[in-house]
Amino acid sequence: MLFTLLEAIAIILVLHFGFGLFAMAAVMAASDLGYVVSHYFVSHRVMPQIQVHIRHFKWEVTSELLRFAGSYQLVNILEVLYAVILPVAVLKFFGAEATGVFAVTNRLATAALLAQEALLPPILSGGSMVYGSGAREQLDLLISKSYKMTLALSIGPLAFVGAFGTIIVLAWTGQSQMSFQGALVLICLASLFKSLSLLGLVLYRISGKAVLDNIRQVLRIVLLLLISVFGAHLGFYGILSGLAFSEFAGMVFMFFALKHTFHGFNARMLISDTFRVSAATLLIILVSAAVIAAPFLPSLGHRTDAIVRLLLACAACGIVAWPVLLITRSISRSEIEAIAGAFRRKAYGNS
């Protein structure tokens, strides 16, 4: 957070004094370098037993290092390439206005997945330890619980954006085009498939393998390229539906990869949690929609009214979320005890 803040301030300053892109790039490079160096010293302070030094390097592990670490970079490069395809296709076939709609809706969906993305690194580190221990029951529990948490942290925020996204856009930008609603629904659906696909990628990576996740990236790229070629015939919503389809294909492929990697894995073990969490999300959204549609709410003006209704929707979701989760049994007694225990440990630690 500190480096992000300092980087933003420095970029504003270099732009203010008339410097160009090179100065901005230098600021970003210096920020990233300081970020990495700071992590080195903090990591050494937290766990001094682990030493990073050139004398510990052995040529025998070079091939494994290149295979595993290099494949991570390949996944990231392919993800960047994948992210470029659709904006270019939308701009080419549908113009600047459709591109703006896509950019705004995509930004909202990305923001909705921040909590889910923060869950992935702990799953990767903890899952590697569980997989290395060879505990079969613990691994099955890790897969089911991580799926449930990923689903809850993605489908809830994405459903909120899909249902109230036009209100968010109106409060944020003052724009109220009808095209936002359809785009929001399709992009949120694609983002849900993407979040579950990323979970599959992380769970696959804990086994130390590094092939099928790259095949998943290539599959998504090929599908989206084919869809983009026919973009003029499919239309704006058609090409967004193609995005959802490509993400769905990536999700299905990663479930196949998990079944191939963990022989005890079966997608049927996730169906119960899927129905319960989905039902709870639907009830929460319906209650919130009923609250903001109440006729007794005064009309406060175009944009102010949107802000008030958005705040009411957030409050309604926060109030009914816990009771609905209990009613639908989306959260178990053991999970309640685990959550309460985490808060108790935090309270004891602060005291």
Domain ranges of the chain: 1-57, 59-340
In tens, the pLDDT along 10-47 reads: 999 998 898 988 999 999 999 999 999 998 888 888 88
Better pLDDT: 40 or 53: 40
**Which pTM value belongs to this model?**
0.81
On whether the CB atoms of residues 23 and 12 are closer than 8 A, the answer is no
Would you state the pLDDT for residue 238? 93
In tens, the pLDDT along 302-344 reads: 778 888 888 889 999 989 988 898 888 887 777 666 666 655 6
Q: Does pLDDT of 249 surpass 90?
A: yes
Backbone φ and ψ for 188, nearest 5 degrees, come out as -65, -40
In tens, the pLDDT along 100-135 reads: 899 999 999 999 998 888 888 888 888 888 888 777
In tens, the pLDDT along 151-172 reads: 999 999 999 999 998 888 888 8
